[in-house]
Amino acid sequence: MTDETLPQKLATIMSIDVAGYSERTEADQARTVSEVAALRTRIEAMAAREHGRVFNTAGDGFMLEFPSAANALGLADTLCAEPLPLRMGVHLGDVFVTPNGDLLGHGVNIAARLQQQAEPRSALISVDVRRALRGPFAEKLRPKGLLKLDKMAETIEAFALEPHHGEPTAKAKEPLLAVLPFDNHAGDAEALYFSDGVSEEILEAVARVPGLKVIGRTSAFSFRGERKSEAAHLLHATHILDGSVRRVASRMRVHAQLTEGESGTLLWGDKYDCDIADAFNVQDTIAAQVAVALQQALPRHKRANPRIDHIAYELYLRARPMVKELAEDDARQAEPLLQQAIARAPDFAQAWAALAMARSLLLPRDADAVGQPAHDAALAAANRALALDPDCADALVALAVLKPAFSEHADKLQLCANAVTLAPTDPLVAAACDGALISVGRVREAMQHLEAAARLDPLSPLFVSSHAFHLRTIGRTDEALAAIEDAFGRFPDAAWVWIRRWTIFFMSGRRDEAMRMCEEGARLPAGVSPGDTAVLRLAHAIFAMPKAQREQTLRALLERDGPLVLQICAFAAEAECVDLAYDMIFDALDKGRRISGQAYGGRGIGRAFRLSALFSFVGAALRRDPRFATLCARVGLADYWCQSQNWPDCVDEVEGIYDFRAACEGASPQQAEAQALRAS
């Protein structure tokens, strides 16, 4: 089909890219990839609010369509204030519409050429767009005269949308900082939890400094005592922040020092004597001093920290690590500690956020619980935290987790993207963003976040095992096997790594090795029980059964009382029982039976993201069946994809089997309603 035979329409086109993207990538590829992935999610959400859509992306580039010039300028005006230095070009003209929704033609090319000549944090607007504008946006435009566009014979009259006054300019890349656990020479467990807690809060305060790269907690806190001398070399850190914490009753003394990693040269050091009630102000002061020493810009919006009762602070320090474990038992222990903390300190935003997360972890993982008192209590805690501190990343994650599993997909993505921007090295935030992206089928983008997080926290078993899982999902099986073997060699006692190693082996034709892992008497890490391995041995037995017996056994498993487990449905489809799998799924949706994502290895954070079970390699057989589009429509995904035009990876995966995009458009209730309105 040639351009001449494609349908045409008039549209406002916006082209966007990141100024200096190549230099940023060369200086720090992991961070830049993470920033652009988060930017994409923000742009999609903001464009949808202006009734626009992203119709094409490539690296740091985005092409968008809007129904009017005013809609496009509304987004451009907002994007001028983005932390990343964006360049934009906007043109109104005729375009060709391809069957997959892409737009082609001279109008698209002009927008791209205007974007190339725009200044960072500004937009160049064609005269055709200017003629269509009225009101405040028209008044903001500055004439640029006639421009000669690259690789075009014609010139075009253009106008500039000026950047916001006072917006930050692009900052130079900063060194990589490791914040080590501050020493406490008292030597007892009570002193250790306190010093570790203060150290972690200092790490997070430093990580909030814009542009400052900070090694994640899991990796940095692996270096204690004599091992601290190895940290700079093994973590590839250019600078080390270390010190000591000493507590006496309600007072504490913090000694902090910043040294150059390679030479050990002391760059800055200071001591702070204060009430524990002023701990957060001391932490922010240390972060500011570190930023000055490394010649960083200070945070644009410094928190106004209230004085926190020292007992409330200690209760928070005890509870917070439990919440970060994302396990129900830990959350159950943390909740009363956090309730005591906020009773003593009602304006303690971080304690409210931790309480929201703890409460969310205690909700059932196979139901949304929206409207139930426990859900309302968790939601209230998250909203209270954000009212006190709008930049509280943990509260944003809690709100995302509390969203329904089968709707509000764009909102979940936006909350997680905002949280990643605020806390790029926090494993909880990374896990949430990963879950949200996979739940809408965007595994490759989820990998970008994980790779960035793994670079900043290379000793985290969660990140390295998740990365191996995603490699297997996108078809890079040999790399996945090598990655999970490396992870298992480094973290043999991590249950999460063990479970994922078994799954990758079992689904990649290495079932003898998988079977040896779960044999009776085999060594198991803490968190994997003999009951778990009995289930895995049954999986091996099912695949060895004749087809009729296999289906009968799987049906008995799926019809057991309790929630329907999508992971077992995916397993049934892989075992050539795909009709059974879909019958059970649709029956559960019809009858309101609860649906869970995983049979094992799950965490409480997966409630809102339980659809991720459909998009890993375990669900490949489900995706190859055309009924998958109907399932996606039933759980709100088809509407999300049709509206955002941000399609999942499986569009390409099932190409040649069936047209997934067309199937979703045919099954989408929103699309059907729109067609009915057009017909009427």
Q: What is the mean pLDDT of residues 303-312?
A: 74
Same domain, residue pair 264 and 189: yes
Residue 202 lies in a domain: yes
Same domain, residue pair 19 and 108: yes
* Partners of 142 in beta bridges: 160
Return the higher-pLDDT residue of 166 and 75: 75
Same domain, residue pair 90 and 216: no
In whole angstroms, how large is the CA radius of gyration of the chain?
A: 27
Which pTM value belongs to this model? 0.65
Residue 234 lies in a domain: yes
Same domain, residue pair 134 and 27: yes
pLDDT recorded at residue 605: 62
Same domain, residue pair 97 and 200: no
Does residue 14 carry a pLDDT above 70?
Answer: yes
Q: What percent of the chain has pLDDT over 70?
A: 91
Report the CATH number that the domain containing residue 130 is assigned in CATH: 3.30.70.1230
Query: Of all helices (H) and strands (E), which one includes residue 162?
Result: none
Q: What is the mean pLDDT of residues 367-393?
A: 88
Q: Which of 97-101, 190-194, 222-226, 548-552 has the largest mean confidence?
A: 548-552
- Give the Cα separation of 654 and 619 in Å (integer): 12
Length of the chain: 680
Does residue 289 carry a pLDDT above 80?
Answer: no
Which of 350, 318, 323 is closest to 604 using CA atoms? 323
- Reported as a single tens digit per residue, the pLDDT across 215-271 is 888 888 889 888 898 888 888 888 899 988 888 788 888 888 888 887 777 777 888
- Residue 225, exposed/middle/buried by CB under 10 A (0-12, 13-18, 19+)? exposed
Q: What is the mean pLDDT of residues 80-107?
A: 88
Please tell me the least confidently modeled range out of 364-373, 534-543, 567-576: 364-373
Residue 244 lies in a domain: yes
Same domain, residue pair 121 and 51: yes
- Give the Cα separation of 578 and 573 in Å (integer): 4
- Give the Cα separation of 290 and 313 in Å (integer): 23
Residue at a domain's end among 161, 192, 225: 161
Does residue 164 carry a pLDDT above 50?
Answer: no
Q: Do the Cβ atoms of 80 and 124 come closer than 8 Å?
A: no
- Reported as a single tens digit per residue, the pLDDT across 643-678 is 888 899 999 999 999 999 999 998 887 766 656 555
* Helix axes of 349-361 and 328-344: crossing angle, nearest 10 degrees: 150
Average pLDDT, the chain: 85
Query: Of all helices (H) and strands (E), which one includes residue 15?
Result: strand 8-18
Q: What is the mean pLDDT of residues 535-540?
A: 92
Residue 621 lies in a domain: no
* Helix axes of 310-324 and 189-207: crossing angle, nearest 10 degrees: 80
Task: Band the pLDDT of 579: cuts 50, 70, 90.
Answer: very high
Task: Band the pLDDT of 299: cuts 50, 70, 90.
Answer: very low
- Reported as a single tens digit per residue, the pLDDT across 123-147 is 999 988 888 887 777 777 887 777 7
Instruction: Show the tokens assigned to 53.
Output: 């859509």
Residue at a domain's end among 246, 271, 293: 293
Same domain, residue pair 265 and 137: no
**Termini Cα distance of the chain:** 31
Range of the domain at 246: 176-293
Q: How many domains does the chain have?
A: 2
Q: Do the Cβ atoms of 216 and 231 come closer than 8 Å?
A: no
Residue at a domain's end among 272, 293, 314: 293
- Give the Cα separation of 585 and 631 in Å (integer): 8
Does residue 516 carry a pLDDT above 60?
Answer: yes
Q: What is the distance of C-alpha 628 from the center of its chain? A: 25
Residue 251 lies in a domain: yes
Does residue 106 carry a pLDDT above 90?
Answer: no
Same domain, residue pair 131 and 207: no
DSSP helix/strand/coil, 661: helix
Same domain, residue pair 204 and 154: no
Same domain, residue pair 191 and 150: no
- Give the Cα separation of 337 and 318 in Å (integer): 8
Does residue 296 carry a pLDDT above 70?
Answer: no
- Give the Cα separation of 3 and 195 in Å (integer): 66
pLDDT recorded at residue 163: 57
- Give the Cα separation of 225 and 395 in Å (integer): 34
Does residue 542 carry a pLDDT above 90?
Answer: yes
Q: Which residues of 88-110 are buried (b: 16+ CB within 10 A; e: fewer)?
A: bbbbbbebbbeeeebbebebbbb
Q: What is the mean pLDDT of residues 352-363?
A: 92
Q: Which residue has the tokens 């778990």?
A: 532
Instruction: Show the tokens assigned to 152.
Output: 């075009």
Q: Do the Cβ atoms of 62 and 17 come closer than 8 Å?
A: yes
- Written in H, E and C, the secondary structure of 24-92 is HHHHCHHHHHHHHHHHHHHHHHHHHHCCCEEEEEECCEEEEEECCHHHHHHHHHHHCCCCCCEEEEEEE
- Give the Cα separation of 585 and 186 in Å (integer): 57
Q: Which residues of 610-639 are buried (b: 16+ CB within 10 A; e: fewer)?
A: bbbbbbbbbbbbbbebebbbbbbbbbbbbb
Return the higher-pLDDT residue of 393 and 29: 393
Say which DSSP state 299 is in. Answer: P
- DSSP, residue by residue, 85-153: -EEEEEEEEEEEE-TTS-EESHHHHHHHHHHHHSPTTEEEEEHHHHHT--THHHHHEEEEEEEE-TT-S
Return the higher-pLDDT residue of 24 and 502: 502
Same domain, residue pair 48 and 134: yes
Task: Band the pLDDT of 298: cuts 50, 70, 90.
Answer: very low
Say which DSSP state 241 is in. Answer: E
Sign, CA torsion 321/324/330/332: positive
- Give the Cα separation of 327 and 341 in Å (integer): 21
- Reported as a single tens digit per residue, the pLDDT across 314-331 is 899 899 888 887 778 889
Centre a 10 Å sphere on the Cβ of residue 192 and count the other Cβ atoms it contains: 16
pLDDT recorded at residue 171: 37
- Reported as a single tens digit per residue, the pLDDT across 552-575 is 999 999 999 999 999 999 999 999
DSSP helix/strand/coil, 282: helix
Does residue 599 carry a pLDDT above 70?
Answer: no
Where does 164-278 have alpha helices with state H?
189-207, 217-220, 231-235
Same domain, residue pair 214 and 268: yes
Residue 121 lies in a domain: yes
Task: Band the pLDDT of 32: cuts 50, 70, 90.
Answer: confident
Q: What is the mean pLDDT of residues 205-224?
A: 82
Does residue 187 carry a pLDDT above 80?
Answer: no
Q: Which residue has the tokens 């960072």?
A: 120
- Reported as a single tens digit per residue, the pLDDT across 411-470 is 899 888 888 888 877 777 888 888 899 999 999 988 887 777 777 788 888 888 888 999
Residue 180 lies in a domain: yes
Report the CATH number that the domain containing residue 187 is assigned in CATH: 3.40.50.10070
Residue 666 lies in a domain: no
Q: Do the Cβ atoms of 426 and 204 come closer than 8 Å?
A: yes
